[in-house]
Each structure stands twice: as C-alpha cells, then as structure tokens.
Structure 1
Amino acid sequence: MYCVKCGVELDDSLEKCPLCETPVMKIRDGEKVNTVYNYEYPVININLYELKIKKVKKAVFLSFFTISVISMLEVFFQNIIVYGELKWGYYAIPSIMIFDLFLFVLLNSHTMRQNLFFIFTGLTVYFLILDYGNKNFSWSLKMGIPIVGTYCFIGFIFSFVWDKHKSDKIKIMNFFLFFVGIFLLILEFIISNKFSWSIWASIPLFVLNVMLRYTYKAYKDEFKKRLHL
C-alpha cells in the first residue's frame, strides 16, 4: 500500500503517512472508506482565459471612453471659443456619446434583452437631441423612435426564440428571416404609411423561410452530417 499524496510505501497498520501525515485510505469489506482530505489550498476552478478577455475588454472600453471625453471637451470649447455657442458641436457630442454606448454594449457580456434596452434608450435620447436642434420635434417622434422601437421589440421577441433554440442554427435562421420580413413591412409603413417595396422584399424571405423549414425537416440528419449543424 502506498500514500496517495507522496507515494511512500506504507504498512497496513498505519493510519497516517509518516512522511506527509495524509490519512490512509483503507478498504473494509470490499468498500472504500470515504476520507476527507484537508489541503493547504482549496481547489477552485477558475477560467483564466475568460477573466483575461474581460480585463482586455474593460481596458479597451476605458481607453476609447477616455478619448471620447477628451474629444467632447475639445469640441465643446472649440465651439464656445469660435462661435460663442454650440454650433456643429451640438450634433457631434451626442454622436460621440452614442458611439460609447454601442461600444459598451459590444464589449460587455449582457443578455440580448438588456442590450436591446440600452440601445432603445440610447437611440431614443439621441434622436430627440438631434431633432430638437431646430427647436422642434419633427422626424424623431414620427419615424426615428418608432423605427427603433419596432427593431427593439422584434429583437426582444427574437431573444426568447434564441434562448429556446440556440443550439439549432437552422431554426434560428428560419426565425431570423421571418422577423426581418416583418420588420421591413413595418419599416415602410412607418416611413410612408403604405406597402410597396417591402412586400417584394419580404415575400422572398417568407418563401425561403418555408422552404428551409421543410427541407431541414426532410433532410435533418443530412444537414447535420454535411454542415455540422
């Protein structure tokens, strides 16, 4: 019999290893006695690669955010010094801020629904600021915000489909094509209150959706074997 920790040969009568004092695992009546071993350091499974990636993403975001703050200050003071007020800087500063928002969404591991909330909130505020540049609201309330709201609402529904079928890439593609077709129809209706080009753009997507669905059902095993889906 040998010590399970240091490998020293042991007598059958020993309870502990004389070298490292590790309890001896003995067999009684054909079963192993479960012994709890106290280690100096606990064994913890840590994904070092994931931690490193998070650290890199944080560093990238902080770097761009710092550059953005400096750029916004430069634009602000340049407009104040040259014009005495915000001219083109009124549009440039919010644009830099919305860039930071999209970078934040891209580099952080939030859920799809959380990202959609950030995008909807950020773009809504952004459109209102830009539209109010001429002291009234025109296109933001009629087109900009409804389009963003439609996109985020459809994305919100799609997120549940993604959670349920994310292992089935063909099914995800089917739903994606269907939702893109729906979005195009709503998009044209918001812009022009009618349906024309969106119908011709959506019908091929719906047809491809149906064809892909039934083809995949008929040749599911072949798809998985050939395309590794």
Structure 2
Amino acid sequence: MSYCVNCGVELEATIKKCPLCETPVMNPNEMVKEKEHSPFPEKLGQVEGIKRKDIGILLSSVFVCVAVSCSLLNYFVFPGNRWSLLVVGFCGLMWTMTVPPVVVPKLRMRISTLVNCLMVCIYLLLIGFFADSFEWIWHLGLPITMTVCILIEIFLTVGKHKRTFLVLGSTFFAEVAILCVVIELLVQRYRGLPLHIHWSSIVLTVCVILDITLLTMLSRKRIRNEIQRRFHF
C-alpha cells in the first residue's frame, strides 16, 4: 500500500495520482495491473435540475387549492356572504404576479408590470364592491396603484439603458421621494385637508441628499472608477 508523499493520504493500488492533491503515484515496489478496476466510479452522476414548468405547476396547485377550499367553506359552512370571492381574487392576483415570470423567463418586465397593475386595480374594485364604498378606491387606491406602476415602468426603462449601480440608486431614491409626496397629498385631498407636505418632507430631504451624493459620484470619473473597483459595481 502506498502513501502520498505530499499529503500523506493512503492510496489505492490502482490509482495513478493522489485524489486530493493530484500528485503522481510512482512506487516501483507495487506494479499496477491493467485489468484491475479503479475504486472510483467511471461515470459521473448528475442530479436533474428542477424545471420552471414544475415550479409553475406547484404554485398553480397551491393557489387553486386555496381558492377551491375557501369557496367550499363559504358555500357549505359559512354561507353568510360571498367572502370567498376575495380569496379567489387574491389567489388570481398572486398567480398573475408569480407564475408567468417563472414559467416564461423571457417575459418582458414592463408588460408584466402593466398586467399586474391592471389586476391590482380589478382586485381593489372587488374590495370596494364588498365594502359597498368606492370613494376611497377612486381617491386613494387607484391613484396610488397607478403611481407605483408608472414609477416601476420608469425604473425598468432606466435600468434597461443604464445598468450602473449609481444610476439605478439615484433613480430609486428619487422615485421613493416622489411616491411618499404623492401618497401624503392624496391622503390630505381625501380627508379634505389643505395640500402641503409634512412627514414626506423628511423622506424627500433624505432622498435628495442621497441623490446629490450619487450624482456627484457619477459625475466624477475617478471617484466612480474607485467605487466600482472596490465594491465591484
């Protein structure tokens, strides 16, 4: 029996190099027979990877089971009102947001965002139907949803042309500030208060500082290159 001169591992008589450090085995006292088989398997096994279609089927099964179960409970056990329609609508909304991007990897994010925005608007209208009140939907729900959709579309458009971290970061912080200001103004309008920014001014100030910092880094080539070199952006 031979031992590796480099790492000291005990070696099989049939191998020609150490399996750990790949040091060649040269022991004249032991002649390797050609007919002897190697102690290691000749074929390398490979675990089959999971397919996107399988993930889509799994998610679809979960959403369908939840929708059907709640519908049966609503019909046989709790028949007071049609609350299960809210659960069914939520399952449909989650299916639209999760399954198509997983099953179709080449699906355009901007198209998916528009479809998701439409589904959210429909679900809000469904909630308003059960709540018997559409006022908050017209003044808060739909405007905020449309604002978020527009901001996401802008971010995706910027990311398609400018994929640097500094550009995406400055765009993100600017959109966060815009969203907070819009939400506060919409709430004040819904409550009949004078339109002025209060808590959103704090978010706006922080985002402006961060944006100025990122834009300064972006405009100075040496600083930008140093940041990219150190942080691999």
1:144 and 1:83 map into 2 onto residues whose CA distance is 29
- Decide whether the 8 Å contact of 1:113 with 1:156 is kept in 2: yes
1:220 and 1:204 map into 2 onto residues whose CA distance is 22
Please tell me whether residue 117 in structure 1 is matched to residue 114 in structure 2.
yes
Structure 1 residue 106 displacement after superposition: 4.5
1:192 and 1:95 map into 2 onto residues whose CA distance is 29
Structure 1 residue 209 displacement after superposition: 0.5
Indicate the percent of aligned positions where both proteins have the same amino acid: 17
Q: In structure 1, the residue corresponding to 2:150 is in which secondary structure?
A: helix
1:127 and 1:99 map into 2 onto residues whose CA distance is 14
Structure 1 residue 85 displacement after superposition: 5.3
What is aligned with 1:208?
210
- Decide whether the 8 Å contact of 1:90 with 1:133 is kept in 2: no
**Letter matched to residue 201 of structure 2:** I
Q: In structure 2, the residue corresponding to 1:96 is in which secondary structure?
A: helix
Q: Which runs of 4+ in 1 moved over 4 A?
A: none
2:90 and 2:82 map into 1 onto residues whose CA distance is 14
1:71 and 1:158 map into 2 onto residues whose CA distance is 34
TM-score by length of 1: 0.70
Point out where structure 1 has 5 or more consecutive residues left out of the alignment: 1-51
CA RMSD of aligned residues (A): 2.0
Q: Residues 224, 83 of structure 1: CA spacing in aligned structure 2 closer, same or farther, 3 A cutoff?
A: closer
Please tell me whether residue 134 in structure 1 is matched to residue 134 in structure 2.
no
Please tell me whether residue 172 in structure 1 is matched to residue 168 in structure 2.
yes
What is aligned with 1:32?
none
| Aligned residue pairs, count | 176
**Letter matched to residue 158 of structure 1:** F
What is aligned with 1:192?
188
What is aligned with 2:230?
226
Q: Residues 94, 120 of structure 1: CA spacing in aligned structure 2 closer, same or farther, 3 A cutoff?
A: same
TM-score by length of 2: 0.69
What is aligned with 2:13?
none
What is aligned with 2:92?
97
Structure 1 residue 144 displacement after superposition: 0.9
